[in-house]
Amino acid sequence: MLEPSNNNELPIIPAKRYFAIGEVSELCGVKPHVLRYWEQEFEQLDPVKRRGNRRYYQRNDVILIRQIRALLYEQGYTIGGARAHLESDGSKDDSARTKQVIHQMIDELEDILEILK
């Protein structure tokens, strides 16, 4: 697991539609039981559940989890404070996620360009 202060060192999010809880755990640097707990605490975090109650997270869920992780572990918010911050920054939150997705895509495209050279 990564140290809480190493959010910048998290792995690149692969170009996939759905991620299993184990994959999200590795991508976000938190354990699966923490992800399940955060689902109860943050209403914005609502992965798709399929057969046998298996969770499948989408890319925007992974980005939201990384944001929650940063609020809790790096900025020192409590669960309630992080929840209030996410609820009050609804429009800002969407633009921040969009910017993060664009930045992530640029990084991935640069990596692909490097491989093709």
pLDDT at res. 3? 42
1 occurs within a structural domain: no
- Which range of residues forms the domain containing residue 58? 7-116
Q: Quick one: pLDDT at residue 94?
A: 62
Tally of structural domains, the chain? 1
Q: How far apart are CA 5 and CA 91, in angstroms?
A: 26
Low-confidence residues in the chain, pLDDT < 50:
1-6
Answer yes or no: are the C-beta atoms of 29 and 10 closer than 8 Å: yes
Please give the pLDDT value at position 5: 45
Q: Are 94 and 64 in contact (CB under 8 A)?
A: no
- What is the C-alpha to C-alpha distance for residues 10 and 102, in angstroms, rounded to an integer? 16
Indicate whether 2 belongs to any domain.
no
Tell me if 85 sits within 8 A of 41, measured CB to CB. Answer: no
CATH code, 46: 1.10.1660.10
In total, the chain counts a number of residues equal to 117
Residue-level pLDDT at 69:
95
User: Are the C-beta atoms of 41 and 79 separated by less than 8 Å?
Assistant: yes
Instruction: Kindly report the pTM of this predicted structure.
Output: 0.69
- Answer whether residue 22 is part of any domain: yes
> Has residue 110 been placed in a domain?
yes
Give me the sheet containing 19-20, strands edge to edge: 19-20, 54-57, 48-50
Best CA proximity match to 63, nearest among 102, 107, 37: 102
Identify whether 30 is part of a domain: yes
What pLDDT is stored for residue 26 in this prediction?
94
